[in-house]
A and B are shown apart, each in its own frame.
Chain A
Amino acid sequence: MLGSLLIVFREVMEAGLIVGIVLAATQGIAGRGRWVAGGIAAGVVGAAVVAVFAGSLSAALSGNGQDVFSATILCIAVVMLGWHTIWMTRHGREMAGDMKALGAEVVSGERSLTAMAVVVAVAVLREGVEVVLFLYGIAVSTHSGPLAMLGGGALGIAAGAALSWLLYRGLIVIPLHRLFAVTGLLIAFLAAGMASQAAALLAGDDLLPAFGYEIWDTSWLLSDGSMLGRAAKALFGYSDRPMGIQLMAWGGTLAVMTVATRLARRQPARP
């Protein structure tokens, strides 16, 4: 039971950290609860569908289907995070200044919310597939007390959700005018980390050049296998033995998001 609790908790934590940041980043935009909940629901449904087709997905694209699929959805999330950051740069100040002025921006706000709902859906989908397959495996295998294991799984989901809620609560105590600067930074790192993970998946299958397989080794300090290492990976793409291409993708994404934000700040928001 403890084993299945830990496995499920780990996956839910990875998606949950992202959801927590998204919730904090969309603080104050009308109707965000609906969009984020919709994103989670879409992710869960998507995870179940992907789990059903896991076998054929695995065999697709000459055996690289799983990795190409994961890399693709990660790239979609990176683009959506970039879009949201630019939108927040243009509108965040007004939102922090006068919440009531937001009425006119509802349409535009919904566009940003759609982007964030996609990010949430992608995060839940990615980790959810593993949870669904794992729990389904327990449910169909008769040995080793499926009830206790499923109980562990349910507790794991609850604990993971609680952790992301704590992160969210921790973030929103920051005053609103500071909050968007903090979440903007968190989201830039989130996007850079996702780009780095996508690069690692593709380079792992030799679909991208790796440019060096072990630029450094910090596994003695923080191992990829530890709970903290996995949280660091989900939050900013930490890897204890990164490939060169991961560093490029990480730095490149961060640079592009920083420059795009600067440019967006210079231009006034469209009426």
Chain B
Amino acid sequence: MRYVSVVSSLWLAACAFVPHAQAQDPVHLEVRDHHFTPDHFSVPAGQRFLIVLDNHDDTTDEFESYDLKFEKIVVSGGTITVHAGPLHPGTYKFFDDYHPDQATGTVTVTQEP
């Protein structure tokens, strides 16, 4: 029982450190005919952000990025939300893993002045 309370208090202490600063509004994307719209967007460096993706295709897609570290299935007509960042300045790729040749896009991360 003592272990349980130790573990749970550690847990609570750990959760207190979670930075929930979501500096900006979610980025909205949609995929239609296996193309992302928009297929390019920008976010500031060093911040966590949300991407909301609507799938307007008649196929299931898998929204994925090696750089942004997410991989999530989105069914036809469905909407998913993925968290990403914080990132260093640069350009990173994302794609639909089921249609990797057609559905691709990039995100540019810019340094805040």
Alpha-carbon gap, A259 to B20, bound state (A): 36
In the complex, what residues of A have CB within 8 A of residue B23's CB?
A: none
Stretch with Cβ within 8 A of B (4 or more), from A108-116, A117-125, A170-178, A202-210: A202-210
Question: CB distance A213 to B85 under 8 Å?
Answer: yes
Query: Which of B18, B58, B98 has a CB less than 8 Å from the CB of A7?
Result: B98
Query: Which of A54, A206, A208, A239 has a CB less than 8 Å from the CB of B73?
Result: A54
- Given A3-B100, A3-B101, A223-B66 in contact, is the A209-B73 Cβ separation under 8 Å? no
Question: CB distance B69 to A206 under 8 Å?
Answer: no
How many A-B residue pairs lie within 8 Å, measured between CB atoms? 71
- Beyond known contacts A7-B97, A136-B60, A200-B69: 4 more, CB 8 A cutoff: A55-B75, A133-B73, A140-B58, A214-B88
Q: Chain B: interface secondary structure?
A: loop
B70 within 8 Å of A (CB atoms): yes
Query: Which of A58, A134, A241 has a CB less than 8 Å from the CB of B80?
Result: A58
Interface residues on A, range: 20 to 34
In the complex, what residues of B have CB within 8 A of residue A206's CB?
A: 18, 20, 48, 83
Contact flags (1/0) for A120-139 with B, using CB distance below 8 Å? 00000000011001101100
Pairs across A and B, CB under 8 Å, 26 listed? A3-B100, A54-B73, A55-B75, A58-B73, A58-B74, A58-B75, A58-B78, A59-B78, A63-B81, A133-B73, A133-B98, A134-B62, A137-B98, A140-B58, A204-B69, A204-B82, A204-B83, A205-B83, A206-B48, A206-B83, A209-B17, A209-B18, A224-B66, A224-B69, A225-B66, A241-B69
In the complex, what residues of A have CB within 8 A of residue B20's CB?
A: 206
Interface residues on B, range: 20 to 34
Question: CB distance B70 to A204 under 8 Å?
Answer: yes
Give chain A nearest CB distance to B78 CB in angstroms.
5
Question: CB distance A66 to B17 under 8 Å?
Answer: no
B59 within 8 Å of A (CB atoms): yes
In the complex, what residues of B have CB within 8 A of residue A137's CB?
A: 59-60, 98
- Given A7-B98, A204-B83, A213-B85 in contact, is the A130-B62 Cβ separation under 8 Å? yes
Give chain A nearest CB distance to B10 CB in angstroms.
11
Alpha-carbon gap, A208 to B16, bound state (A): 10
Alpha-carbon gap, A3 to B74, bound state (A): 20
Alpha-carbon gap, A137 to B75, bound state (A): 10
Query: Which of B15, B60, B70, B101 has a CB less than 8 Å from the CB of A54?
Result: B60
Which residues 67-119 of A have a CB within 8 angstroms of B?
Answer: 67
Alpha-carbon gap, A7 to B98, bound state (A): 8
A267 within 8 Å of B (CB atoms): no
In the complex, what residues of A have CB within 8 A of residue B67's CB?
A: 219
A216 within 8 Å of B (CB atoms): no
Give chain A nearest CB distance to B67 CB in angstroms.
8
Query: Which of A66, A134, A224, A239 has a CB less than 8 Å from the CB of B98?
Result: A134
